[in-house]
């Protein structure tokens, strides 16, 4: 079988069964999450970029449920149950983020105080012990 014939057969199969494409998309979205889950990668990416990348998990979960729903023909109780669990968890996550999210900016939490020494400045942050740094 030539490459062109293989590509045509795969394309026709995906067109006839779209759950394959959705399942592959769900799997493909999880790969960068697995690669960047190490401590070193979190440090390299930085916290904000890492969190933005890991929000792909929500899309991947929804795609996985849709894939499973389309895959099952007769008894859809399990895909519905998985979808309900994911919906409950995502609803709880959204509620938690809105109620316990950062309410003030970092600038309002940080202020400089006068130091005892002219060579040191102390930064005090809310909820943390005062730290000193040479300045």
In sequence order, which ranges of 1-135 are alpha helices (DSSP H)?
A: 3-16, 18-35, 39-45, 47-54, 56-71, 77-100, 106-109
Q: Where does residue 11 rank: exposed (0-12), middle (13-18), buried (19+ CB within 10 A)?
A: exposed
Residue holding tokens 């740094």? 133
pLDDT for the residue 79 = 92
Dist. CA 89–CA 83, nearest whole Å: 10
Q: What is the pTM of this model?
A: 0.62
Would you write out the chain's pLDDT as a tens digit for each of its 135 residues? 788 999 898 888 888 888 888 998 899 999 999 999 899 998 999 888 998 898 888 999 999 999 999 989 788 999 999 999 999 999 998 899 899 876 544 554 444 445 455 555 445 455 555 555 554
pLDDT at 108: 44
Q: How far apart are CA 100 and CA 75, in angstroms?
A: 39
């Amino acid at each position: 079988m030539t490459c062109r014939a293989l590509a045509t057969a795969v394309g026709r199969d995906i067109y006839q069964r779209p759950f394959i494409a959705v399942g592959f998309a769900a799997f493909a979205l999880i790969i960068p999450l697995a690669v960047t889950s190490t401590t070193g990668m979190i440090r390299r990416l930085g916290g904000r970029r890492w969190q933005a990348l890991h929000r792909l998990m929500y899309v991947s979960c929804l795609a996985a449920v849709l894939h499973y729903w389309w895959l099952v023909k007769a008894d859809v109780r399990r895909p519905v149950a998985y979808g309900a669990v994911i919906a409950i968890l995502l609803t709880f996550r959204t509620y938690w983020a809105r109620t316990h999210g950062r309410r003030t900016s970092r600038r309002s939490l940080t202020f400089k105080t006068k130091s005892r020494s002219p060579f040191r400045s102390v930064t005090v942050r809310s909820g943390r012990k005062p730290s000193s740094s040479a300045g």
